[in-house]
Amino acid sequence: MLGFLLRIFIYGAAWLGLTAGALDSWQIGLPFIAASVYVDYQLSRPADIRWSPGAWLIYALYFFRFSMTGGLDVLRRIYHPRLPLNPGMVAYPLKLSSPSARKLFVCTVSLLPGTLSVQLAKRDLTIHVLNTDGPYRRELDIIQDRVAVLFHPHPLPDQAGRS
Protein backbone atom coordinates (compact mmCIF):
# COMPACT_ATOMS: atom_id res chain seq x y z
CA MET A 1 0.00 0.00 0.00
CA LEU A 2 2.87 2.34 0.80
CA GLY A 3 4.33 1.80 -2.69
CA PHE A 4 0.97 2.64 -4.25
CA LEU A 5 0.66 5.88 -2.27
CA LEU A 6 4.27 6.79 -2.98
CA ARG A 7 3.70 6.39 -6.72
CA ILE A 8 0.56 8.52 -6.62
CA PHE A 9 2.53 11.19 -4.76
CA ILE A 10 5.45 11.06 -7.22
CA TYR A 11 3.25 11.24 -10.32
CA GLY A 12 1.04 13.89 -8.73
CA ALA A 13 4.07 16.00 -7.90
CA ALA A 14 5.36 15.54 -11.45
CA TRP A 15 2.00 16.68 -12.86
CA LEU A 16 1.98 19.64 -10.50
CA GLY A 17 5.46 20.59 -11.68
CA LEU A 18 4.61 20.17 -15.37
CA THR A 19 1.55 22.37 -15.10
CA ALA A 20 3.15 24.96 -12.81
CA GLY A 21 0.50 24.29 -10.19
CA ALA A 22 -2.51 25.10 -12.39
CA LEU A 23 -5.50 23.78 -10.43
CA ASP A 24 -7.75 23.62 -13.47
CA SER A 25 -5.44 20.99 -15.03
CA TRP A 26 -6.38 18.26 -12.53
CA GLN A 27 -9.37 17.10 -14.55
CA ILE A 28 -6.89 15.97 -17.19
CA GLY A 29 -4.08 15.16 -14.77
CA LEU A 30 -5.95 12.70 -12.53
CA PRO A 31 -6.64 10.19 -15.35
CA PHE A 32 -3.02 10.47 -16.49
CA ILE A 33 -1.75 9.94 -12.94
CA ALA A 34 -3.99 6.87 -12.56
CA ALA A 35 -2.81 5.49 -15.90
CA SER A 36 0.83 6.15 -14.97
CA VAL A 37 0.49 4.30 -11.67
CA TYR A 38 -1.21 1.37 -13.43
CA VAL A 39 1.48 1.12 -16.14
CA ASP A 40 4.23 1.50 -13.54
CA TYR A 41 2.82 -1.42 -11.55
CA GLN A 42 2.50 -3.55 -14.68
CA LEU A 43 6.09 -2.91 -15.77
CA SER A 44 7.76 -3.38 -12.40
CA ARG A 45 6.00 -5.34 -9.77
CA PRO A 46 7.18 -4.03 -6.38
CA ALA A 47 6.66 -7.36 -4.59
CA ASP A 48 10.17 -8.64 -5.28
CA ILE A 49 12.01 -5.56 -4.03
CA ARG A 50 13.52 -5.40 -0.55
CA TRP A 51 13.39 -1.77 0.54
CA SER A 52 16.51 -1.54 2.63
CA PRO A 53 17.88 2.01 2.63
CA GLY A 54 21.32 0.71 3.55
CA ALA A 55 21.41 -1.77 0.67
CA TRP A 56 20.28 0.92 -1.78
CA LEU A 57 22.91 3.32 -0.45
CA ILE A 58 25.65 0.72 -0.90
CA TYR A 59 24.38 -0.01 -4.43
CA ALA A 60 24.40 3.72 -5.23
CA LEU A 61 27.97 4.08 -3.89
CA TYR A 62 29.19 1.18 -6.02
CA PHE A 63 27.38 2.60 -9.05
CA PHE A 64 29.01 5.99 -8.45
CA ARG A 65 32.43 4.39 -7.99
CA PHE A 66 32.21 2.37 -11.21
CA SER A 67 30.77 5.35 -13.09
CA MET A 68 33.72 7.53 -12.08
CA THR A 69 36.43 4.93 -12.69
CA GLY A 70 34.83 3.87 -15.99
CA GLY A 71 34.47 7.47 -17.13
CA LEU A 72 38.10 8.21 -16.29
CA ASP A 73 39.20 5.06 -18.12
CA VAL A 74 37.27 6.08 -21.26
CA LEU A 75 38.71 9.60 -21.00
CA ARG A 76 42.27 8.21 -20.74
CA ARG A 77 41.68 6.04 -23.80
CA ILE A 78 40.58 9.11 -25.77
CA TYR A 79 43.74 11.09 -24.99
CA HIS A 80 46.17 8.15 -24.93
CA PRO A 81 45.30 6.01 -27.94
CA ARG A 82 48.14 3.57 -27.17
CA LEU A 83 46.21 2.18 -24.20
CA PRO A 84 44.92 -1.33 -24.86
CA LEU A 85 41.63 -1.34 -26.71
CA ASN A 86 40.19 -4.71 -27.59
CA PRO A 87 36.43 -4.17 -28.00
CA GLY A 88 34.15 -7.12 -28.26
CA MET A 89 30.98 -8.89 -27.26
CA VAL A 90 31.12 -11.12 -24.20
CA ALA A 91 28.54 -13.41 -22.65
CA TYR A 92 28.14 -12.79 -18.94
CA PRO A 93 26.31 -15.46 -16.87
CA LEU A 94 23.35 -14.20 -14.84
CA LYS A 95 22.46 -15.57 -11.42
CA LEU A 96 19.60 -13.15 -10.76
CA SER A 97 16.19 -14.82 -10.86
CA SER A 98 13.92 -11.84 -10.21
CA PRO A 99 12.80 -10.04 -13.40
CA SER A 100 13.15 -6.68 -11.64
CA ALA A 101 16.67 -7.51 -10.48
CA ARG A 102 17.65 -8.57 -13.99
CA LYS A 103 16.24 -5.34 -15.44
CA LEU A 104 18.13 -3.21 -12.91
CA PHE A 105 21.36 -5.10 -13.63
CA VAL A 106 20.95 -4.70 -17.42
CA CYS A 107 20.24 -0.97 -17.06
CA THR A 108 23.14 -0.49 -14.65
CA VAL A 109 25.57 -2.18 -17.05
CA SER A 110 24.36 0.02 -19.92
CA LEU A 111 24.75 3.19 -17.87
CA LEU A 112 28.34 2.49 -16.90
CA PRO A 113 31.04 3.89 -19.21
CA GLY A 114 32.78 1.25 -21.31
CA THR A 115 29.98 -1.33 -21.24
CA LEU A 116 26.71 -1.70 -23.09
CA SER A 117 24.05 -4.38 -22.66
CA VAL A 118 23.27 -5.90 -26.04
CA GLN A 119 21.05 -8.95 -25.54
CA LEU A 120 19.37 -10.49 -22.53
CA ALA A 121 18.89 -14.25 -22.69
CA LYS A 122 17.51 -16.65 -20.13
CA ARG A 123 20.88 -17.49 -18.55
CA ASP A 124 23.24 -14.75 -19.68
CA LEU A 125 23.64 -11.19 -20.86
CA THR A 126 25.62 -10.27 -23.96
CA ILE A 127 27.65 -7.15 -23.25
CA HIS A 128 29.84 -4.97 -25.46
CA VAL A 129 33.02 -4.00 -23.62
CA LEU A 130 35.89 -1.75 -24.67
CA ASN A 131 38.61 -4.13 -23.55
CA THR A 132 37.89 -7.86 -23.42
CA ASP A 133 41.25 -8.32 -21.66
CA GLY A 134 40.33 -5.89 -18.87
CA PRO A 135 38.82 -6.52 -15.42
CA TYR A 136 35.23 -6.12 -16.63
CA ARG A 137 34.10 -9.56 -15.34
CA ARG A 138 35.17 -8.81 -11.74
CA GLU A 139 33.35 -5.46 -11.85
CA LEU A 140 30.22 -7.09 -13.29
CA ASP A 141 30.35 -9.70 -10.51
CA ILE A 142 30.40 -6.94 -7.90
CA ILE A 143 27.49 -5.11 -9.54
CA GLN A 144 25.46 -8.31 -9.82
CA ASP A 145 26.12 -9.04 -6.13
CA ARG A 146 24.97 -5.53 -5.13
CA VAL A 147 21.78 -5.89 -7.20
CA ALA A 148 21.20 -9.35 -5.71
CA VAL A 149 21.28 -7.92 -2.19
CA LEU A 150 18.50 -5.51 -3.16
CA PHE A 151 16.19 -8.23 -4.48
CA HIS A 152 17.14 -11.53 -2.87
CA PRO A 153 16.88 -12.04 0.89
CA HIS A 154 19.67 -14.67 0.84
CA PRO A 155 23.06 -14.64 -0.92
CA LEU A 156 23.35 -16.18 -4.36
CA PRO A 157 24.90 -19.70 -4.51
CA ASP A 158 28.53 -18.69 -5.18
CA GLN A 159 28.45 -15.28 -3.59
CA ALA A 160 30.17 -16.15 -0.32
CA GLY A 161 33.67 -14.87 -1.15
CA ARG A 162 32.78 -11.75 -3.17
CA SER A 163 31.89 -8.27 -1.98
Question: Tell me: the pLDDT tens digits for 42-92?
Answer: 766 655 555 667 778 888 888 888 888 888 888 888 888 777 788 899 999
pTM as predicted: 0.64
Q: pLDDT tens digit string along 9-32?
A: 888 888 888 888 788 888 888 888
CA dist 95 and 112 (Å) reads: 20
Say whether 112 sits in a helix, a strand or coil: coil
Q: Are strands 115-120 and 88-93 parallel, antiparallel or unpaired?
A: unpaired
Q: Count how many residues are written for the chain.
A: 163
pLDDT at residue 119, rounded to an integer: 92
Report the share of the chain in percent with pLDDT over 90.
Answer: 16
CA dist 47 and 99 (Å) reads: 11
pLDDT at residue 127, rounded to an integer: 95
Q: Are 115 and 127 in contact (CB under 8 A)?
A: yes
CA dist 87 and 84 (Å) reads: 9
Q: Are 71 and 113 in contact (CB under 8 A)?
A: yes
Bridge partners (DSSP) of residue 115 are 129
